[in-house]
Amino acid sequence: MSMMQCTYRDHIITAEVMEYPGTSTPWAGGCRITAPDGHVTRRLPLPLEHAFMDELDKAQRLSIAHGKWLVDQHLDHGRELFQKAA
């Protein structure tokens, strides 16, 4: 399976799509984001109502778009991307 990746606002966004064979919408979208300092997020899934798709390419593209939105939220609105240690 090919991996889709892009650099956006100095962050690397990697689509991390999971396959669930045997269903009509077997592709679950999600992404990982690498910050400029090298920190990497856990897999960040798409919201449930948009998480499952019928085509791999569609799932990858939506995952990248979601990652860009998350980076914007982080940089422009202070949303935390990384889990803090307990």
Domain ranges across the chain: 5-77
pLDDT of the residue at 57: 94
Is the model's pLDDT at 56 over the cut of 60? yes
State the CATH architecture for 5-77: 2-Layer Sandwich (3.30)
Query: Nearest 5°: CA angle at 36, between 31 and 39?
Result: 60
53: alpha, beta or left? (left if phi > 0; alpha if psi -120 to 50): beta
Which whole number is the average pLDDT over 25-37? 95
Which of the four pLDDT bands, split at 50, 70 and 90, describes residue 1? low
pLDDT of res. 69: 97
- Residue carrying structure tokens 């940089």: 75
pLDDT band at 45 (very low <50, low <70, confident <90, very high): very high
pLDDT of residue 2: 58
Residue 28 φ then ψ, to 5°: -100, 115
